[in-house]
């Protein structure tokens, strides 16, 4: 924008010249600020779902269909892993169908564990027919994200294991290996 001082007295012309110089300096400063702004940080997310069916033995043998979604996210200087577990079965609650039902989530670099977290949903999976019922978020298990400094590596993945124990079968914990995510 070009500022043209109005015609008139010398005093009016001086004020107009100062105002024009101030506006030019402000425009210059704004231009410099835009040229030194930081570039936008890249955001990349890759997810992988695993579908499982659990069939407890005995009179409470209600099959449970489980979907586990693992995601790895690179954002700025950090990388994150997060996981969710949803389930569904045909009828009612299972009572105490499981002594344990948990997701062990791993944040990996080059297939080596960097961080791990274990989240459990034993009570909800035993008491709820599915994870999609009320409250509004449902009863699904949402594991709190785990994070690490990304560095220059582009070989980060999220992986995990379901750890479960059928009630009163006397055989202890079982594990189901999940499908890991693609790399970011």
Please say if the pLDDT value at position 80 is more than 60. yes
Which residue from 72, 91, 90, 40 is spatially nearest to 143, judged by alpha carbons? 72
Q: How confident is the model at residue 62 (pLDDT cuts 50, 70, 90)?
A: confident
Q: Which helix (DSSP H) or strand (DSSP E) does residue 24 occupy?
A: helix 10-35
Task: With beta carbons less than 8 A apart as the criterion, state whether 69 and 83 touch.
Answer: yes
Task: Name the percent of the chain in helix, strand, coil, to the closest 5.
Answer: 15, 45, 40
* Angstrom distances, CA of residue 21 to CA of 2, 15, 32, 54: 10, 10, 17, 76
Q: Which helix (DSSP H) or strand (DSSP E) does residue 35 occupy?
A: helix 10-35
What is residue 15's predicted lDDT score, i.e. its pLDDT?
A: 46
What is residue 55's predicted lDDT score, i.e. its pLDDT?
A: 84
Question: What is the tens place of the pLDDT at every residue in 39-59?
Answer: 556 899 999 999 999 987 765
Please say if the pLDDT value at position 74 is more than 80. yes
Higher pLDDT, 176 or 38: 176
Prediction pTM value: 0.73
Ramachandran quadrant class, 19 (left: phi over 0; alpha: psi -120 to 50; beta: rest) = alpha
Task: With beta carbons less than 8 A apart as the criterion, state whether 87 and 64 touch.
Answer: yes
Lowest mean pLDDT: which of 2-16, 94-108, 146-160, 163-177?
Answer: 2-16
Please say if the pLDDT value at position 27 is more than 90. no
What percent of the chain lies above the pLDDT cut of 70? 70
Task: With beta carbons less than 8 A apart as the criterion, state whether 72 and 80 touch.
Answer: yes
CA gap 48, 180 in Å, rounded: 6
């Amino acid at each position: 924008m070009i500022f043209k001082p109005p015609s008139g007295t010398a005093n009016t012309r001086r004020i107009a010249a100062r105002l024009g110089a101030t506006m030019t300096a402000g425009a210059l400063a704004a231009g410099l600020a835009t040229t030194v702004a930081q570039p936008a940080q890249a955001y990349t997310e890759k997810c992988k779902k695993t579908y499982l069916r659990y069939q407890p033995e005995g009179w409470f043998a209600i099959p449970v269909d489980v979907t586990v979604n693992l995601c790895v996210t690179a954002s700025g200087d950090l990388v994150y892993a997060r996981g969710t577990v949803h389930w569904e079965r045909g009828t009612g609650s299972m009572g105490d169908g499981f002594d344990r039902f948990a997701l062990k989530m791993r944040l990996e670099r080059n297939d080596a564990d960097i961080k791990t977290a274990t989240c459990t949903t034993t009570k909800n999976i035993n008491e709820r027919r599915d994870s999609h019922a009320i409250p509004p978020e449902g009863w699904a298990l949402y594991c709190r994200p785990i994070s690490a400094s990304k560095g220059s590596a582009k070989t980060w993945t999220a992986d995990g294991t379901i750890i479960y124990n059928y009630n009163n079968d006397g055989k202890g914990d079982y594990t189901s290996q999940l499908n890991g995510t693609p790399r970011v």
